Amino acid sequence: MSLTYAIVVNGPVYGSQTSRSAYQFAQALIEDGHKLQRVFFYQDGVLNGSALTAPASDEFDLVAAWQQLGRTHQVELQTCVAAALRRGIVGEQEAEQNQLGSANLADGFEQAGLGGLAEVMLTADRVIQF
């Protein structure tokens, strides 16, 4: 039986295992034939959406991995806009609204309110939080 999943990521892109574990879980559920509808990045998890991360060449690039997962499997990658703005992760629209010089939200990510999280919690069969 195939289920629809949503994942909520609260951990930062680097500095803990949380985000990497969420990514590995996402890969595993897709490989098992389930549908991953959305990954919602909340609290420090919004740092996964930064276009300004530059891991060493011998380290795993988790931001690029999320982007590839989103493109390949049509998974929505949403960052909480309020949490992102507090942590300096800014999309084009927010940069313009707040009169900031530039945006740094990575390609493939979008910013959404908590309504995006509430909606996916109502429509997914399972919601897993990391």
Query: pLDDT tens digits, the chain, 130 residues: what are they?
Result: 899 999 999 999 999 999 999 999 999 999 999 999 999 999 999 999 999 999 999 999 999 999 999 999 999 999 999 999 999 999 999 999 999 999 999 999 999 999 999 999 999 999 999 9
Return d(Cα 35, Cα 23) in angstroms, integer: 14
pLDDT recorded at residue 32: 97
Give the global pTM.
Answer: 0.95
b/e map of 49-81 (b: 16 or more CB within 10 Å)? Answer: bbbebeeeeeeeebbebbbebbeeeebbbbbbb
Give the residues across from 76 on adjacent strands: 38
b/e map of 93-104 (b: 16 or more CB within 10 Å)? Answer: ebbeeeeeeebb
Catalytic positions, please? Answer: 80
pLDDT recorded at residue 1: 86
